[in-house]
Amino acid sequence: MANLSKRLPTNIDGNLYVDSTCIDCDTCRQLAPATFKEDGDYSTVFRQPETAQEEFSAYQALIACPVGSIGTKVKDAKVFSEARASFPLHIEDGVYYAGFNSEKSFGANSYFIRHLSGNWLVDSPRYLKQLVRFFEDQGGLRYIFLSHEDDVADAAHYAKYFGAKRIIHQADVAAMPDAERVIDGNEAVQIDPGFVCIPVPGHTAGSMALLYQNRFLFSGDHLWWDRALRQLGTPQNLVWDDAQLKRSVRKLLDYAFEWVLPGHGERVQLPLEDMKNAVRQLLHRRWNVQHSLL
Ligand code: SF4
Ligand SMILES: [Fe+2]
């Protein structure tokens, strides 16, 4: 619960505010960019919602915020409950953003994939009745893909409830030692038709991306859309091994995908060839790799 006495002075006057418990995870800026922006080490309300849609998005941000740092002086109970009921948010073709980001994963995004051969959870949201019910209604969870050690959050609870198999890389397995499926080495592994686990060491030794249907790349903290640059981004500071990170970004040129769905940062959809070019531009910008070599 946000606390008015901790309201950040950077907030513009009005009903909605961010307090000083904000961990600057970016979730609110993704969900309601017309209302929230980054200011120093926090998010802040730079503009109060003016339309019903902006208000709804701001309430979605309030609900998804992993640490309850967003508050209202006067809560609209109807909008609040409708916004809460809107999660998980459908993205496309049975792929959902789960919402309810967890503080245990520093507010990382997690995703749900509805599929005939069994549903997937990608990283973990908070363990909540609403999500359990939703997953149950969709037929449960067969696999939980863990992109890396930072974002396991409540995966063990979901795995236990649904009897789901957790998939993690050997190098990050300390975060989920009793995972049912451990991927080793650098080779991509197909789990079910249409689902490929691609080891992408760099941010952590055991980072992996999940490629679904050669369209959706669930990228953990390996790759995201940088909204300021309007280009793909990859870690600069939190890097276990930069040379491996470079190889892992380059490796993505071997695959086709049009969506990047990250743990942290903005998601993006681009036509296949534009996405390949965006990966090439990232390699050039970050490591000065010439396009002619790619
Ligand atoms: S979602 Fe919450 S913790 Fe994350 S940046 Fe916004 S206010 Fe801060
Ligand atoms: Fe991470």
Domain limits for position 110: 89-293
Contact call for residues 181 and 192 (beta carbons, < 8 A): no
Residue 293 above 80 pLDDT? no
What is the DSSP annotation of 64-87? H-TT--EEESS--HHHHHHHHHTP
Please calculate the CA angle 43-47-51 and round it to the nearest 5 degrees.
125
CA of 292 to the centre of ligand 1 (A): 41
Domain boundary pick from 49, 64, 85: 85
CA of 129 to the centre of ligand 1 (A): 22
SS3 262: strand
- Which residue in 59, 99, 62 sits closest to 79, CA to CA? 59
Residue 158's domain is classified under what CATH number?
Answer: 3.60.15.10
**Do 229 and 134 reside in the same domain of the chain?**
yes
**Do 36 and 108 reside in the same domain of the chain?**
no
CA of 99 to the centre of ligand 2 (A): 18
Residue 20's domain is classified under what CATH number?
Answer: 3.30.70.20
**Predicted pLDDT of residue 103:** 97
**Do 267 and 145 reside in the same domain of the chain?**
yes
Contact call for residues 215 and 204 (beta carbons, < 8 A): no
Rounded to two decimals, what is the model's pTM? 0.96
pLDDT digits (tens, 9 = 90+) for 150-162: 999 999 999 999 9
**Do 13 and 30 reside in the same domain of the chain?**
yes
CA of 239 to the centre of ligand 2 (A): 9
Residue ranges around ligand 1 (CB below 6 Å): 18, 22-28, 43, 65-67, 69-70, 107
Domain boundary pick from 85, 104, 134: 85
pLDDT digits (tens, 9 = 90+) for 104-149: 999 999 999 999 999 999 999 999 999 999 999 999 999 999 999 9
**Do 137 and 215 reside in the same domain of the chain?**
yes
The position carrying tokens 């006057």 is: 13
pLDDT digits (tens, 9 = 90+) for 46-89: 999 999 999 999 999 999 999 999 999 999 999 999 999 999 99
> Rounded mean pLDDT of the chain?
97
**Do 160 and 213 reside in the same domain of the chain?**
yes
Closest ligand 1 atom to Cα of 27: 1
- Which residue in 89, 67, 78 sits closest to 6, CA to CA? 67
Closest ligand 1 atom to Cα of 29: 6
Domains in the chain: how many in total?
2
**Do 289 and 196 reside in the same domain of the chain?**
yes
**Do 96 and 230 reside in the same domain of the chain?**
yes
Residue of minimum CA distance from atom 2 in ligand 1: 65
Mutate to test the pocket of ligand 1, among 37, 43, 105, 264 (most ligand atoms within 8 A of CB): 43
**Predicted pLDDT of residue 294:** 75
Closest ligand 1 atom to Cα of 23: 3
Bond prior to 88 in cis (omega within 30° of 0): yes
Residue of minimum CA distance from atom 6 in ligand 1: 28
CA of 287 to the centre of ligand 1 (A): 31
- Which residue in 46, 39, 81 sits closest to 62, CA to CA? 81
Residue of minimum CA distance from atom 4 in ligand 1: 25
**Predicted pLDDT of residue 233:** 98
